[in-house]
Amino acid sequence: MRRDGGRRVTDQGDVARESLFEAWGLFAVAAVLVWAFFTGGGAFDRGLGDVIGQLLALPVIGWALFAQLGSFSGRPRIVALSVLSVVVLAVLVQQTPLPESLWRAIDVRDALANDLAIAGASDARYFWSLTPLASERGLWSMLPAIAVFLGALSMPRKHHLKLLLLVALLSATSLLLAFFQLGVPQDSILNPFPEWPARLNGFFANANHQSSGFAVSVIIIAAILFDRWRGTNESPAMSRWQSWTLAAIGLLMLASMPLAGSVAASLLAMLALMAIPALSLIERPWRHERPWVNHGAKFGLLVLATGLFVAAMNWMRSGVVHGDRGPVAIATAAMGNDHAPAGAGLGSFVSWFDQAGPEAFRQWEYYNHAHNEFAQWWLESGVVGAVALAAVLFLLVRHFPARRRVSDAGVAVAAWLGCVVLLLHSAVDYPLRTPALMSVGGLLLGIVVAQRSRRERKSGSVDAAMPGHDVDTPSYRTFNSALAQSGAPE
């Protein structure tokens, strides 16, 4: 890219680089997403499918980064890549070797070092993470999510709808597989996790994570259909049979969520469905000749949403209080305070909770997760993990789906609410520990950022698209053609 007077002019290499990813990047991102969904339904998988998915993600990451050079205006690209760097560094830093004096500065580590010395392991190596190998595996497991995140940032925004519909299709396929699983033996080839009896799991080891995928897919379908029903100018039209098919799939998944046994995912999906028209009212209120009708509609929707939210929180709280998830999360957060500021290391929860957890939780079965990702991230990643989480939340809040600034409001709202639901569900479960839902989350966050970013196609004629409009839209091409025919100076 070079400058000619006051204009930015694209070099031929920039055009070729962007055009190549625009033509084939969608298929590369879709391949990573599909593979992660089919093979990454477990939170403890370390099999061949995971390795293939990670190797498949590596070239897509490099290609997406290469394609982004010159594709976006500076600030959105820098902010998004900075947040991604913080998240990766929060895990990468755990592989750092530390001096023994610094390592033993934390009381629980000092006590552990004394135990190691008594056991004759005085030559132990001291790393930031207490489980460096598990932390390294956690870093590699992030590769598919990083690939789809960068891919969503790099491709034209017109492809985002296709990827969201692909997520819904993958969840529908998982539901179909789940119905077949109910009628076959436990060790059937149709059960990806034969060590567990099938319970409407589909591609997932845990039916709660299947419900997380359903919740995200229901939100995608509802937001897209609602926006098409409202008839925005930017939204591509859908035929009647396409709309009815999507609606039927969404209703089937919504009805199947209670069968999978996930109360939290069902409630969060209902809350998100209430939020879809609310977000639309914020940016584009329903017009009526009497203003009090508009204000009354907003107030009524707010009261209804608040009542549903309070009821949902009370329901969820009663389930947490009367179960062991609340006490386990509190104990995990307390152990995180003991390990602060470094954290115990990614993947250390099981071994450390078995060793240092309260006596009341010691039993013949072990706790595989805290079922509260915020508490577990605090235990495993410490202050750097908290900073990484804050950076992701900042990115999500900063790119709130304002209709006047997005290319496709339905897509933007679906992706933003999908991210919110996955984070909220992480407060009572661990959906983002699975490569499948981690990749879905990465895709949704990438779409959220890209939909609010001002994409620049640095052509010689027009410098940048208007905020909220992709340069590949028909209106933009019409404007460009009219400008050329008029003979107006560039």
pLDDT category of residue 295 using cuts at 50, 70 and 90: low
pLDDT confidence of residue 120: 75
Q: Which residues touch 118 (CB under 8 Å, ≥6 apart)?
A: none
Per 3-state DSSP, the chain is made up of helix, strand and coil in percentages (nearest 5) of: 70, 0, 30
Residue 467 has pLDDT above 50, yes or no: no
pLDDT confidence of residue 165: 96
- Higher confidence at residue 308 or residue 259? 259
Per residue in 63-82, pLDDT (tens digit) is 998 887 755 455 767 888 89
Section 416-441 average pLDDT: 93
Per residue in 108-163, pLDDT (tens digit) is 888 888 887 787 776 677 899 999 999 999 999 999 999 999 999 988 888 999 99
**Residue written as tokens 């977000």?**
279
Residue 6 has pLDDT above 50, yes or no: no
What are 58's two structure tokens?
Answer: 């590596």
**Residue written as tokens 């390294």?**
136
Residue 404 has pLDDT above 70, yes or no: no
Section 95-115 average pLDDT: 88
Residue 356 has pLDDT above 90, yes or no: no
Residue-level length of the chain: 490
pLDDT category of residue 167 using cuts at 50, 70 and 90: very high
Section 17-24 average pLDDT: 73
Q: How far apart are the first and last CA of the chain?
A: 17
Section 376-397 average pLDDT: 94
Cα dihedral 375, 389, 106, 101 in deg (nearest 10): 150
100, 363, 379, 420 from 126: Cα distances, Å: 6, 30, 18, 37
**HSE value, Cβ hemisphere, 13 Å, CA-based, for 284:** 18
Per residue in 198-223, pLDDT (tens digit) is 788 999 999 999 999 999 999 999 99
pLDDT confidence of residue 463: 33
Whether the Cβ atoms of residue 209 and residue 263 lie closer than 8 Å to each other: no
**Residue written as tokens 């076959």?**
184
Cα–Cα distance measured from residue 258 to residue 211, given in angstroms and rounded to the nearest whole number: 8
pLDDT confidence of residue 228: 82
Cα–Cα distance measured from residue 339 to residue 168, given in angstroms and rounded to the nearest whole number: 40
Whether the Cβ atoms of residue 113 and residue 9 lie closer than 8 Å to each other: no
Residue 360 has pLDDT above 70, yes or no: yes
pLDDT confidence of residue 118: 82
Cα–Cα distance measured from residue 396 to residue 391, given in angstroms and rounded to the nearest whole number: 9
Nearest to 92 by CA among 128, 55, 120, 41: 128
Percentage of the chain lying above the pLDDT 70 cut: 74
Q: How far is CA 231 from the centre of its chain?
A: 28
Cα–Cα distance measured from residue 102 to residue 360, given in angstroms and rounded to the nearest whole number: 33
Secondary element (H or E) of residue 245: helix 240-260
Q: How far is CA 223 from the centre of its chain?
A: 17
pLDDT confidence of residue 300: 64
pLDDT confidence of residue 197: 83
Per residue in 23-35, pLDDT (tens digit) is 788 999 999 999 9
pLDDT confidence of residue 326: 80
pLDDT confidence of residue 44: 76
Burial class of residue 240, CB neighbours in 10 A (0-12, 13-18, 19+)? exposed
What are 14's two structure tokens?
Answer: 């920039």
Whether the Cβ atoms of residue 39 and residue 53 lie closer than 8 Å to each other: yes
pLDDT confidence of residue 374: 94
Whether the Cβ atoms of residue 231 and residue 464 lie closer than 8 Å to each other: no
CA atoms 117, 119, 120, 125: torsion sign: negative
Q: Which residues touch 203 (CB under 8 Å, ≥6 apart)?
A: 37, 38, 41, 174, 177, 192, 210, 436
- Higher confidence at residue 169 or residue 304? 169
Per residue in 219-235, pLDDT (tens digit) is 999 999 988 877 655 55
Whether the Cβ atoms of residue 264 and residue 215 lie closer than 8 Å to each other: no
pLDDT confidence of residue 8: 42
